């Protein structure tokens, strides 16, 4: 067999593509589903924590900072394994899907809180004072005046971080969540051929290349508007 | 509460598994010592190519960067480790990790350096060239030092991510910290070894995260 034939036979074997395409497609939608859930929960929780931190209660802020630092320092796979293997023995049963969603949401919340908080602190003090002097309360000032300005500034770093954490849905394969990578590795071991892995890689490219390009576009666009 | 303590903070089990964990930690540190410099050097290469003055070079490198930023590192790792043997490339777990991380990290570090290089005003390069420095000398002595200073927080942040990423090597059975912990967990039926691993990661990375927060504030302020 020539080198090219060997390559095609190993990574793009036709009958294997046909046999395992439905599995990969199924995984594709599981990945999208978990990703969307993680993005919504993580960003909402992160924003909530940043707003809470703005009230400046010392004890609450300390707890938030500890939470954020911990999830910035711990590898997500470590947290996934602790929850997945540890909790059942204490009587709390969470499915692998829920563990993956929970852990990635917490990780994203930690990074998002840090970014939103940086945005809130970067709004000039005069904006606060002006809003308060027109008679708005603290909460109203935060929601109507400070957050809209803060969130705009956070969009580029937030997009990049969200993409990076969403890609971690592949960790689900370790605890058996049937997402793309899981389907691909299972199919590869059944087929004895690397074609499903290549299909999985291509599925990720289809999903994330547009997102990466969008992220870069957002970065340049918002940087330009700020200048 | 007792069940919780017994399951997650069982001191006896932690003491018992400590030697195994130390060996795992050694492997994690070795991995970092190889993977981080490789990524920093590869990234620099990628950045220099993607800011090249020849359009063909910039266009050739762009898809490489996008692809390796789009594929999750674990997918890349499993592809290299489980996929390439079918094509006749047998790689050890360590080699697979080194290759997969080199590709992934070069793309990420490359984007960071690129942002840094682009943040240096064009006048700096022109001024350096007009004093008689060559193109190479200008890049090395004038542009890069300023570029690196401008993106230092991002470089530190990505390096923390790389250290966390080494935990993925456990999936291809490389005996680093998380793999040792998971092995100990499966023998003891207790999650304490993984909690111990988490504590070791925290001890390594928490100071770095704190440092990073301060760096970010200083650059922003």
pLDDT at B89: 84
pLDDT at A46: 97
- Measured CA to CA in angstroms, residue A135 lies from A132, A141, A145, A147 at distances of 5, 9, 12, 17
Given a contact cutoff of 8 angstroms between Cβ atoms, the answer to whether A108 and A43 are in contact is yes
CA dihedral (A131, A137, A141, A142) positive or negative: positive
Tally of CB atoms within 10 A around A149: 14
H helices, E strands: number in chain A: 10, 0
Rounded mean pLDDT, A210-225: 78
Q: Which residues contact B119 (CB under 8 A, 6 or more apart)?
A: B146, B147, B150, B151
Report yes or no on whether pTM surpasses 0.80: yes
Facing B66 at nearest CB: one of A77, A200, A212: A212
Q: ipTM beyond 0.95?
A: no
Q: Which of residues 178-207 of A touch B (CB under 8 A)?
A: 180-181, 185, 188, 193-194, 197-198, 200-201, 204-205, 207
Confidence at A227, pLDDT banded by 50, 70, 90: very low
Q: Which of residues 72-111 of A touch B (CB under 8 A)?
A: 72-79, 81-82, 85-86, 89-91
Cβ distance B164 to A74 less than 8 Å, yes or no, reads yes
A169/A167 Cα distance (integer angstroms): 5
pLDDT at B2: 80
B89/B29 Cα distance (integer angstroms): 26
Q: What b/e string do you get for B169-182 counting C-beta neighbours within 10 Å, with b at 16 or more?
A: bbbbebbbbbbbbb
Q: Which of residues 12-31 of B touch A (CB under 8 A)?
A: none
Polymer length in residues for chain A: 227
Nearest to A161 by CA among A197, A115, A201: A115
pLDDT, tens digit, for every residue of B123-178?
999 999 999 999 899 999 999 999 999 999 999 999 999 999 999 999 999 999 99
Q: How confident is chain B (221 residues) per 10-residue block, as mean pLDDT? A: 83 91 95 96 95 92 91 94 87 94 95 93 93 92 94 93 95 93 92 94 94 78 45
B191/B185 Cα distance (integer angstroms): 6
């Amino acid at each position: 067999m020539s080198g090219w034939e060997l390559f095609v036979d190993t990574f793009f074997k036709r009958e294997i593509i046909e046999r395992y395409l439905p599995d990969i497609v199924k995984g594709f939608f599981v990945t999208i589903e978990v990703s969307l859930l993680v993005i919504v929960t993580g960003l909402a929780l992160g924003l909530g924590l940043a707003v809470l931190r703005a009230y400046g209660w010392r004890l609450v802020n300390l707890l938030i900072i500890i939470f954020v630092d911990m999830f910035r320092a711990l590898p997500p796979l470590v947290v996934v394994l602790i929850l997945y293997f540890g909790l059942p023995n204490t009587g709390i049963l969470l499915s692998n899907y829920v563990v993956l969603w929970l852990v990635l949401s917490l990780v994203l919340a930690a990074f998002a809180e840090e970014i939103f908080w940086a945005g809130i602190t970067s709004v000039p003090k005069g904006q606060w004072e002006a809003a308060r002097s027109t008679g708005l309360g603290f909460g109203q000032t935060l929601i109507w005046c400070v957050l809209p300005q803060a969130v705009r500034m956070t969009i580029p770093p937030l997009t990049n971080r969200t993409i990076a954490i969403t890609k971690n849905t592949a960790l689900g394969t370790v605890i058996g969540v049937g997402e793309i990578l899981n389907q691909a590795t299972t199919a590869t071991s059944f087929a004895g051929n690397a074609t499903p892995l290549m299909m999985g890689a291509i599925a990720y490219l289809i999903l994330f290349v547009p997102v990466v390009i969008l992220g870069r576009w957002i970065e340049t666009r918002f940087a330009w508007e700020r200048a | 509460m007792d069940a919780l303590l017994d399951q997650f903070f069982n001191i006896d089990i932690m003491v018992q598994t400590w030697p195994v964990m130390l060996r795992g930690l050694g492997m994690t540190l070795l991995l970092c010592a190889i993977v981080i410099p490789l990524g920093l050097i590869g990234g620099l290469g990628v950045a220099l190519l993607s800011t090249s003055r020849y359009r063909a070079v910039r266009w050739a490198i762009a898809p490489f960067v996008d692809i390796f930023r789009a594929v999750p590192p674990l997918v890349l790792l499993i592809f290299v480790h489980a996929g390439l043997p079918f094509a006749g490339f047998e790689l050890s777990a360590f080699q697979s990790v080194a290759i997969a991380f080199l590709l992934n990290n070069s793309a990420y570090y490359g984007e960071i350096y690129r942002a840094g290089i682009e943040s240096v005003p064009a006048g700096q390069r022109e001024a350096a060239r007009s004093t008689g420095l060559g193109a190479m000398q200008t890049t090395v002595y004038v542009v890069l030092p300023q570029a690196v200073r401008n993106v230092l927080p991002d470089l530190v942040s990505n390096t923390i991510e790389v250290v966390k990423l080494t935990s993925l090597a456990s999936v291809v059975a490389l005996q680093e910290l998380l793999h040792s912990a998971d092995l100990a967990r499966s023998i003891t039926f207790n999650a304490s070894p993984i909690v111990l691993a988490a504590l070791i990661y925290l001890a390594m990375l928490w100071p770095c995260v704190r440092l990073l927060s301060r760096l970010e504030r200083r650059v922003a302020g």
